[in-house]
Structure 1
Amino acid sequence: MPTTVLGYAAQSPKDDLAPYRFTRRDLRPDDVAIDILYCGVCHSDLHTARNDWGGTTYPVVPGHEIIGRVVSVGAEVTRFKAGDLVGVGCMVDSCRRCAPCHQGLEQYCEEFPTLTYDGRDRQDQTPTFGGYSQTIVVSDGFVLSIPAGLDPKGAAPLLCAGITTWSPLHHWQVGEGSRVAVVGLGGLGHMALKLAKGLGAEVTLFTRSPGKEDDARRLGADLIVISTDEAQMAAVENQFDLIIDTVPTEHDLNPYVPTLALDGTLVLVGLLGNLVPTLNTVPLIMGRKSVAGSLIGGIAETQAMLDFCGEHGITSDIEVIGIQDINTAYERMLKSDVKYRFVIDMASLRDG
């Protein structure tokens, strides 16, 4: 029999999240049932709950930075057992047969991946509900092992903020001697600093806020450049192999492109939408420079990131909240009033 569980859902774009009961499916042969311990709070949760991007199906239970313990597994599962500490990120399935899926890049599935929430199960077409809940049932191919010794609370945001910034670092082969810059210091930006530094790069933060210098250095930045200061920007022209731009709102990319080195790339991981103002191509042409985009990471890549974080003791800087505070957390997130990621202690669901 399917299991009735408690979670928090939005019933419409204008409704606060509130308690909501729904069912989780019985185990299929390849499924893993997980009791959720912690769930990170992502800007995507807020945007989906409020239908900012359009297309949200209600009710919606957000949450795709999930840490929990396995309670049972299907008959064909061999990689996991009851008691294992595991994670679930932004995807719970994909077509598994297209070219990106065969390359381990399920996030670029040509049939679109099945999202952890506000998606549709590929087998029975039922809606997917996310991690703001007691339990989740996921195919073992989309379950991740959490390394021993890694703080499970701080590990939760690695499942989205971490992999979103790790994937471009990995793809553009950042390592010892690489020169990396990060635009913006928020949930994504602080993970980009930590991961780039962990990989051995020389790391710079671009920011408009002089007051962030001490925090940026603590997180791994070797240099802080105030992006509104023309002299500081001119001083770093032709410097960076990779710029990770984490800013989620419209902003001008033109000041950053000249700071790329020959063959350098500026990769967008925060902005969904049009580039405004128009991008001037002259600096691109004169240095064979590129502007690119990147989306989370595949399952194998995410596991590699988690293993790396386990080896280097890297987790997210977090503020733990109860689920009852989620609506306040959303408002604070809109004001950037968190350092640097909210994580819900899901035991708070028992508090009503």
Structure 2
Amino acid sequence: MYEARGYAAQSSSSPLEPFTFARRELRDNDLLIEVLYCGVCHSDLHTARGEWDGTVYENGTLFPAVPGHEIVGRVKAVGTDVSTMKVGDLVAVGTMVDSCRTCAHCQMGLEQFCEKGATWTYNAPDRISGENTFGGYSNLIVVRQEFALRVSHPEAQLAAVAPLLCAGITMWSPLRYWNAGPGKRVGIVGIGGLGHMGIKLAHALGAQVVAFTTSEEKRQDAFALGADEVVLSKSADEMKRQAASLDLIVNSVAVAHDLDPYLSLLSLNGTMALVGVPAQSHPSPSATNLIFGRRSLAGSLVGGIPETQELLDFSAKHGILADIETIPIDQIEAAFTRMQRSDVKYRFVIDMQSLRSPDKA
């Protein structure tokens, strides 16, 4: 076993605090990874606070809970059958650490939609032992080789690569599926951890990017990120000028809100993809907005392993990184508080040098 150190929530009402636990011995196809950086996602907060119990998590949060699924690290050891990675390689781990690998969806490289249920990086049962998975708010993680991704960005950029593993792929997957690119007008709703990556990626794909924000203060930020137009969504006039003009909207807002004003901005056959998961449901949209215009309201869930590797390679080629603020792990509760009030541009990333790496137990 490998003794690992991290931060865990012991209950939905307790803060994240230091936690020592065991990582399993390597199976034949496993990697032992030293975690260098881990991004801080709203999903981490929702899980630690039990806000998704009964919705995303049918059986609730399993405590103690170690969050973290935007992981960049270095391989420390490999199992006997590992052929794709070697000790010393820089690798990344996202929202999944396993799947059945045999169902139709897994065979298509859509492991996030595994028919038998993907094994999430935290708060999920291991497929073999049944033990609860612990995430990247720790100094070590064990992952099967097929769910570790290659990183080709320079080492100096690794902290800013970490958010690509959730925020980045969450936006990349719908942009790719609905063919964002030259000749397409793409709306990005929300300029936060997810939305700022959506603007950068849609711009790099060659789409005409329209960013939507409730904050006038973010208008210039959105232009700097690559938006061609920026709309203050609280302004009826600005919203009206975008009526029936967008081929795709990727809505990253994770708070329940009225979807109808955005649906009316879609052109004929346009689609709005929801990627933010609110603690409470959105109000039901009007059927009229969908019927008159043959518009679609859809959802999208991160991306499979091939698509995530594609994102990492594309981002390295085009110099795309998250805008981040690095923190030591003992500031995670303060980071949660600031994240709730959108007081970060645009993603916190934990520097795991703030934890000492233990030796094998």
Following superposition, which runs of at least 4 residues in structure 1 exceed 6 angstroms of deviation? Answer: none
Query: Equivalents in 2 of 1:190, 1:263: separation in Å?
Result: 25
What SS class does the counterpart of residue 284 from structure 1 fall into? helix
Q: Could you say which residue in structure 2 is the equivalent of 1:159?
A: 165
Matches within 5 A, 1:45-194: 45-54=44-53, 55-149=60-154, 151-194=157-200
Residue identity in the other structure for 1:105? L
Paired position in structure 2 for 1:321: 327
Instruction: Find the residue that maps to 1:350 and give its secondary structure.
Output: coil
In structure 1, stretches of 5+ residues that fail to align are: none
Q: Is the 8 A contact 1:178 1:241 kept in 2?
A: yes
Match status 1:199 vs 2:198: no
Write out per-residue CA displacement over residues 47-88 of structure 1, whole angstroms, 9 at most, x where no aligned residue. Answer: 111111110011111110000001111111111011111000
TM-score norm. by structure 1 comes to 0.97
Whether the 8 Å CA contact 1:252–1:275 is kept in 2: the answer is no
Equivalent residues of 1:28, 1:74 under 8 A apart: yes
Instruction: State how many pairs are aligned.
Output: 351
Please report how far the alpha carbon of residue 271 of structure 1 lies from its aligned counterpart in structure 2 after TM superposition. 3.0
How far is the alpha carbon of 1:274 from its aligned partner?
6.2
Cα deviation digits, residues 204-225 of structure 1 (max 9, x gap): 1111211211100010111011
Mapped partners of 1:18, 1:271: distance in 2:
26
Q: 1:131 to 1:283 in 2, by over 3 A?
A: same
**Contact 1:190/1:219 (8 A) holds in 2:** yes
Tell me the residue number matched to 1:33.
32
- TM value normalised by structure 2: 0.95
Residue 271 of structure 1 pairs with residue 277 of structure 2: yes
Report the AA paired with residue 207 of structure 1.
T
Q: Which runs of 5+ in 2 are unaligned?
A: 54-59
The 2-side partners of 1:130 and 1:351 are apart by 16
In the alignment, the residues of structure 1 paired with residue 335 and residue 176 of structure 2 have an alpha-carbon distance, to the nearest angstrom, of: 31
The equivalent residue for 1:235 is 241
SS in 2 for 1:22: strand
**Which structure 2 residues correspond to residues 2-21 of structure 1 after superposition, within 5 A?**
2-21=1-20
When the two chains are superposed, the root-mean-square deviation of aligned CA atoms in Å is 1.4
Secondary structure of residue in 2 paired with 1:255: helix
The 1:259–1:268 alpha-carbon spacing in structure 2 relative to 1, beyond 3 Å, is: same
Looking at structure 1, the residues matched to 265 and 9 of structure 2 have their Cα atoms a distance apart, in angstroms, of 43
Q: Structure 1 CA distance, aligned partners of 2:218 and 2:47?
A: 29
2:299 alignment counterpart: 293
Sequence identity, in percent?
A: 54
